[in-house]
């Protein structure tokens, strides 16, 4: 992974803050920064939905600093941003169903926590702030592929929180002259994505079931489609956004995906084939707040960030499975 860099020059003189850095996507960003010898990598995470084990290989490195803290606390955000050049903000409470069950927690972390981070980044004079948005902001807009300027009504509290991020980001960029870019991730998967807990994502759940030779659950008829995105592509988008020299790139949101979609049934078939599982899935009720189809137009990220996905779904699933076998010991 990451043999050729997505950034220009050396990272030795640059300090980074990765919020949510012990989580799935955040820890993959940390991995990239360590591999490319970033001058300073500070991580802010309260370990709410992740394990410190994701950071175990890096915690003793002299250029890595871990702050266990909460973005709901403005002082913590101020401390985390002090002396930082570039922020990649990944900390959030993920999962649409969790937000349907507990909208207040989602709002406190994803909306208020986000605002705290923007304020802290502004006060610290951070040069650029890149943050995780989500394809969920497309909501009920029916047209495919999804283009950044055509969104519908959010279908869940989670989607509202991500939409709120985009609104605040725009206002902070315009009002305080900050450099801010949002990344609308489309169903990211890969190493360090946990299959555990009630809100685990579909790919780790399918892999665990296939390796255990048990039946996975599919919500609805399985004909819903997604633009599944291997995490290396999401890391690439973050790094490219932090470094793009394009003056037109600032104050925008970008789709981060492959630009191809498959059904959930097809996804399970690939995983079953790769693992040799012959167990068939169990179908259950459609989930509240879920969108039916998802496919990204990634031309804006290509144009302004130079983003070019390098790993497609099948290869990404193979790499994820290799990690799964190592970690889960199958
Ligand atoms: N994984 C996806 O498919 C996907 C899709 C769209 C958007 N996103 C967004 O990408 C970002 C990263 O998601 P992920 O999949 O890596 O999830 P994750 O749960 O693995 O990572 C989120 C991290 O944020 C931390 N966190 C949560 N609340 C916090 C708080 N109050 N203070 C500090 N840290 C806190 C968690 O402990 C965790 O380490 C999130 O903003 C998520 O909403 C993810």
Query: pLDDT (tens digit, 9 = 90+) per residue, 238-272?
Result: 999 999 999 999 999 999 999 999 999 999 999 99
Mean pLDDT of 160-166: 98
Whether residue 276 lies inside any domain: the answer is: no
**pLDDT on residue 217:** 95
Minimum-distance ligand 1 atom for the alpha carbon of 108: 31
134: in domain: yes
Is there a domain that residue 3 lies in?
A: no
Domain residues for 32?
A: 15-188+229-259+296-310
Report whether pLDDT(150) > 80.
Answer: yes
**pLDDT 10s digits, 164-187:** 999 999 999 999 999 999 999 999
Evaluate the CA torsion angle 300, 306, 310, 316 in order and state its sign. Answer: negative
Q: Would you state the pLDDT for residue 329?
A: 56
CA angle 12, 18, 21 (to 5 degrees): 120
Average pLDDT of the residues in 305-310: 97
Asked if residue 1 is part of any domain, the answer here is no
Pairing of strands 262-263, 225-226: antiparallel
Report d(CA 109, CA 161) in Å as an integer. 9
Q: Give distance in angstroms: CA of 66 to centre of ligand 1.
A: 16
pLDDT digits (tens, 9 = 90+) for 184-239: 999 999 999 999 988 899 999 999 999 999 999 999 999 999 999 999 999 999 99
124 vs 80: CA distance, rounded Å: 9
| Cβ atoms within 10 Å, residue 30 | 28
**Residue 314 pLDDT class (50, 70, 90 cuts):** very high
The pLDDT value given to residue 290: 75
Tell me the average pLDDT across 61-69.
98
CATH number at 251 reads: 3.40.50.720
According to the model, what pLDDT value does residue 2 have? 73
The total of structural domains in the chain comes to 1
**109 CB less than 6 Å from ligand 1?**
yes
Give me the pLDDT at residue 188, please.
98
Residue 147's φ and ψ, nearest 5 degrees, are -110, 145
**Which residue is closest in CA terms to ligand 1's atom 39?**
23
C-alpha 20 to ligand 1 mean position (Å): 6
Mean pLDDT computed over 105-120: 98
Q: Is the separation of the CB atoms in 51 and 194 below 8 Å?
A: yes
Find out whether the beta carbon of 91 lies less than 6 Å from any atom of ligand 1.
yes
Question: Closest residue (by CA) to atom 23 of ligand 1?
Answer: 20
254 close to 308: Cβ distance less than 8 angstroms: no
Q: What is the 3-state secondary structure (H, E, C) of the chain?
A: CCCCCCCCCCCCCCEEEEECCCCHHHHHHHHHHHHCCCCEEEEEECCCCCCHHHHCCCCCCCCEEEEECCCCCHHHHHHHHCCCCEEEECCCCCCHHHHHHCHHHHHHHHHHHHHHHHHHHHHHCCCEEEEEEEHHHHCCCCCCCECCCCCCCCCCHHHHHHHHHHHHHHHHHHHHCCCEEEEEECCEECCCCCCCCCCCCHHHHHHHHHHHCCCCEEECCCCCEECCEEHHHHHHHHHHHHHCCCCCCCCEEEEECCCCCEEHHHHHHHHHHHHCCCCCCEEECCCCCCCCCCCECCHHHHHHHCCCCCCCHHHHHHHHHHHHHHHHCC
Percent of the chain with pLDDT over 90: 94
Residues annotated as part of the active site: 158
pTM over 0.95: yes
**Residue 303, domain member (yes or no):** yes
What is the structure's pLDDT at 42?
Answer: 98
Residue 158 lies in a domain: yes
Say if 73 falls within a structural domain.
Answer: yes
CA of 127 to the centre of ligand 1 (A): 23
pLDDT average, residue stretch 2-30: 95
Say yes or no: CB of residue 256 within 6 Å of ligand 1: no
271-304 residue pLDDT tens: 999 999 999 999 999 887 677 899 999 999 999 9
Let me know: does 205 contact 318? Beta carbons within 8 Å: no
Q: Is the confidence at residue 145, as pLDDT, over 90? A: yes
Give a yes or no: residue 321 inside a domain: no
């Amino acid at each position: 992974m990451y043999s050729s860099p997505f950034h220009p020059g050396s990272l030795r003189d640059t300090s980074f803050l990765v919020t949510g850095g012990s989580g799935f996507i955040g820890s993959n960003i940390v991995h990239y920064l360590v591999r490319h010898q970033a001058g300073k990598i500070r991580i802010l995470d309260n370990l709410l939905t992740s394990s410190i084990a994701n950071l175990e290989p890096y915690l003793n490195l002299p250029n890595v600093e871990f702050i266990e803290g909460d973005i709901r606390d403005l002082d913590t955000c101020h401390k985390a941003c002090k002396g930082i050049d570039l922020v990649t903000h990944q900390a959030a409470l993920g999962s649409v169903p969790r937000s349907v069950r507990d909208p207040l927690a989602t709002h406190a972390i994803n909306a208020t926590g986000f605002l705290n981070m923007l304020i802290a980044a502004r006060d610290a004079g951070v040069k650029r702030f890149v943050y995780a948005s989500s394809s969920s902001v497309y909501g009920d807009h029916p047209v495919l592929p999804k283009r950044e300027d055509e969104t519908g009504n959010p279908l869940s509290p989670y989607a509202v929180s991500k939409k709120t991020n985009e609104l605040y980001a725009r206002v902070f960029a315009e009002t305080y002259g900050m450099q801010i870019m949002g990344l609308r991730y489309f169903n990211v998967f890969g190493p360090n994505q946990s299959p555990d807990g009630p809100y685990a994502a579909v790919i780790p759940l399918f892999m665990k079931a296939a390796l255990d030779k048990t039946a996975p659950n599919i919500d609805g008829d399985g004909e819903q489609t997604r633009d599944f995105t291997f995490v290396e592509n999401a890391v690439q988008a973050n790094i490219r956004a932090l470094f793009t020299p394009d003056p037109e790139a600032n104050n925008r949101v970008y789709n981060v995906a492959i630009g191809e979609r498959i059904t959930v049934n097809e996804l399970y078939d690939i995983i079953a084939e790769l693992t040799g599982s012959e167990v068939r899935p169990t179908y259950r009720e459609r989930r509240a707040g879920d969108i039916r189809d998802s496919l990204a137009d990634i031309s804006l990220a290509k144009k302004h960030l130079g983003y070019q996905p390098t790993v497609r779904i099948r290869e990404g699933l193979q790499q994820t499975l290799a990690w799964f076998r190592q970690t889960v010991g199958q």
